[in-house]
Amino acid sequence: MPELPEVKTTVNGLKKYLVGKTIKKVWTDWEKMVKKPADFSYFKSTIKDKKIKDIIQRGKNIVFLLSNDYSLLIHQKLTGHLLYGKWKEKEKGNWVSQTKGLMSSDKMNSYIHFIFFFKDGHQMALSDLRKFAKIVLAKTKEIKKDLDKELGPGILEIDFKEFKKRLEQKRTSIKKAIMDQGVIAGIGNIYSDEALFRARIHPLKKANNLTEKELKRLYNAAQKILKQAIKYNGTSVSDYRTPKGKKGEFSKLLKVYGKDGERCPQCSSLIEKVKVGSRTARFCPKCQKK
């Protein structure tokens, strides 16, 4: 699932092309992606002629601020990613990119299930292998209220004092705590593994047992890694692609995520994995002692 760096990369990329554009119409072969409004015909008629004023990132959500005080929220979920370009319907439901290169040759960019058509002839497409993505259209104040209720502050938007305050009383494992979007928004499985490794903290250690020094190391590691990942356009482990259809390049800099059974880059011990709830954590048993 795209995490903060992937979502931020998508937002940065789309802002270059979409701000100021007006939506002409939409197409989909999977209306279930639209969670609100319940009536897809109402969704189509309401979003028509709306102008994109800005695009922002909130946690793992992409929010398009539209004219008439409306907003469009898209959560890409497990396998979704937004693309910008032009597509042509070769046959019913089969959209082919008109852009040469990765956009058309990379199969991960071909699972088109939703398209926004703009009045200038360009399009924004949602490629989603599993069709789990979530789309919401509502008044901006309603979407903001729902997000503020659901999510904690973004990890890159808080100082160490706030970070410490939100974690020091949590009795769950530190990995689970920093992945809890209601506590701090934006960190998922990939970057929690990477931040904990760089901070030398075992993923199963209880958050409320961490010293201030350990919390400071974790805060600094998370800040540094996420900013670096944004610079490298995120991590493409399998599905994620940038709005131009390219893979994120932070995959080359991963130290432990997906590296179980390989040698630790610091001490050469074997990277191990352990279940944390429904997720898997990778760690070095020597560098990250519990």
CATH number at residue 66: 3.20.190.10
**What's the total number of domains in the chain?**
2
Is 200 considered catalytic here?
no
Q: Please tell me whether residues 214 and 193 are part of one structural domain.
A: yes
Q: Which among 150, 173, 188 is the end of a domain?
A: 150
Same domain, residue pair 202 and 228:
yes
**Is residue 262 domain-resident?**
yes
224 and 87 in one domain? no
Q: Is residue 106 part of a domain?
A: yes
Q: Out of 80-84, 89-93, 123-127, 246-250, which region has the weakest mean confidence (pLDDT)?
A: 89-93
CATH of the domain at 194: 1.10.8.50
Judge whether 142 counts as a catalytic residue: no
Residues 276, 235 within the same domain: yes
Determine, yes or no, domain membership for 184: yes
Q: What is the DSSP string of 158-222?
A: S-HHHHHHHHTT--SBHHHHHH-TTTSBS--HHHHHHHHHHHT--TTSBGGG--HHHHHHHHHHH
Peptide bond just before 37 cis, omega within 30 deg: yes
Is the residue at 289 inside a domain? no
- State residue 35's pLDDT score: 98
**66-117 tens-digit pLDDT:** 999 999 999 999 999 999 999 999 988 899 999 877 787 899 999 999 999 9
Asked if the structure places residue 290 within a domain, the reply is no
285 as an active site residue: the answer is: no
Q: Rounded distance, CA 120 to CA 171, Å?
A: 53
Residue 2 among the catalytic residues: yes
Domain limit, last residue, from 130, 150, 170: 150
Interacting residues of 13 by C-beta distance below 8 A, sequence separation 6+: 84, 242, 243, 244
Q: Same domain for 166 and 138?
A: no
Name the catalytic one among 36, 246, 279, 286.
279
Q: How far is residue 236's CA from residue 234's CA, in Å, rounded to a whole number?
A: 7
195-231 residue pLDDT tens: 999 999 999 999 999 999 999 999 999 999 999 999 9
Q: What is the pTM of this model?
A: 0.95
| Over residues 17-29, mean pLDDT | 98
Q: Is the pLDDT of residue 1 over 90?
A: no
Domain that holds residue 35: 4-150
From the list 2, 5, 203, 243, the catalytic residue is 2
- 8, 44, 50, 60: which one is catalytic? 60
Q: Do 124 and 203 share a structural domain?
A: no
